[in-house]
Structure 1
């Protein structure tokens, strides 16, 4: 047989085999490989989705913890500021280092020793922040800690610290509306009642106060003073090294009408 017809026959055989291959389509092995790859990709997608959900959950938890941390930091800063102010208020202001008497006398030596202190009457108006309001207060040199009239006193716990919720009665405000407040508890004091064998455990809080030109932070015991004449009491923790008391007069540093005001702006002067 001539060479050219043999070549033509060989080419025809190759073409026939190629057509048969394309007609049969992909083999079963190729389909299984594709299925395995698809299953692997689906598994990877599921793993990545689970990882993403876990990361979102951790981020949400971290955000809540951060918010609680900020709240705790604010409380700590407030307490640190209160301690610093109280320390400044309690420093001895005399040159010789002796404690200056709180109660003013007619003795010239005592007047010289207390010349650097602010003269205060037996009753004054004290401005408390919060609630940014004026209260009439009796000045009592025999009381260790100042006191504020509070009703519906309830102690509770927040983030491991003691807090107190109380109400300032509406009778102290011109509009007659009571005010509810919450403050961290600085400490507790035990009061022995003369008419009872039981002790009265009272919470003590820190408040910013202003009397005349003096503005500090001091502790106030919360107590129901409904039956007493004045809603607030100024004790030795405020008077010491800051004021000398003139028991013969009242309202030396303040105007009695201020106690009847509902609120004032921060720019007001005493």
Structure 2
């Protein structure tokens, strides 16, 4: 009887151990299955992510190529636009200069600019002249003036040079009258200035005209042309300068 009980206990223990082992194996198998499933899912996810990353890289590369092409086209367009603007400005400037120098006559009158070359026949030289419609009489630079008599008439000798080192153009001319000039800076004070007649030429206009002699060394223009020279034959366009070239003495008739 005792042996039977021991036998039964042993058998029960063996069955219990076998059951526990079976249970442990089942749990392990489930864990392995779950791990394999998770690994498979991770692998699929990784492959999907890598595929999406490759697609993104390809899209980015394509976009970079498009941006590069657009940048190149933009640079070409900007260069073309810049060249077109420069050409337009050049043409406009050329047309502007042409318009200003081409028209030199209107209604049988010569059109002068605000400054022109003035050829003084006695000196056989060209001088810069200011064309001033506000001045009644012309004036010319005269330094080292010396009055004297010749054949019972009053004459004056003066130097027309306008700057240091310039050739001294000594001119002698008969005094036709004395002009009394009132200076605006000194009210009531009069200055006497000799007036002479000189033959001058501007462009195609040439004749004798009166000049008041005065020291103009402090002024930009040694010659000022007033209305007495321009009357009836000249129009003035103040937007122009030096419409006519220097007159050549050899061409003077």
- Place the TM-score, normalised by the shorter chain, in its bin: 0.5 to 0.7
Asked if the contact 1:170–1:179 (Cα under 8 Å) also holds between the matched residues in 2, the reply is no
Question: Partner of 2:215 in structure 1?
Answer: 224
| 2-structure distance, mates of 1:181, 1:216 | 17
Which has the greater radius of gyration? 2
| 2-structure distance, mates of 1:186, 1:266 | 29
- Aligned pair partner of 1:242 in 214, 227, 233: 233
- Aligned pair partner of 2:176 in 172, 186, 198: 186
Counterpart of 2:163 in 1: which secondary structure?
A: helix
1:182 deviates by 1.4
1:268 deviates by 6.2
Asked if the contact 1:150–1:166 (Cα under 8 Å) also holds between the matched residues in 2, the reply is yes
1:251 deviates by 1.2
Are positions 1:265 and 2:239 aligned together? Answer: no
Question: Partner of 1:118 in structure 2?
Answer: 110
- Aligned pair partner of 1:206 in 190, 193, 197: 197
Counterpart of 2:126 in 1: which secondary structure?
A: strand
The 5 A counterparts of 1:57-136 are: 115-136=107-128
Question: Partner of 1:153 in structure 2?
Answer: 145
| 2-structure distance, mates of 1:265, 1:159 | 30
Structure that is richer in helix per residue: 2
Number of equivalences = 147
Counterpart of 1:171 in 2: which secondary structure?
A: coil
1:176 deviates by 2.4
Asked if the contact 2:123–2:170 (Cα under 8 Å) also holds between the matched residues in 1, the reply is no
Residue segments in structure 2 that go unaligned for 5+ positions in a row: 1-105
Question: Partner of 2:132 in structure 1?
Answer: 140
Give the TM-score taking structure 2 as reference length. Answer: 0.54
After superposing on structure 2, the runs of 4+ consecutive aligned residues of structure 1 that deviate more than 6 Å are none
1:220 deviates by 1.0
Counterpart of 2:134 in 1: which secondary structure?
A: coil
| 1-structure distance, mates of 2:115, 2:142 | 20
| 1-structure distance, mates of 2:211, 2:147 | 15
1:201 deviates by 0.6
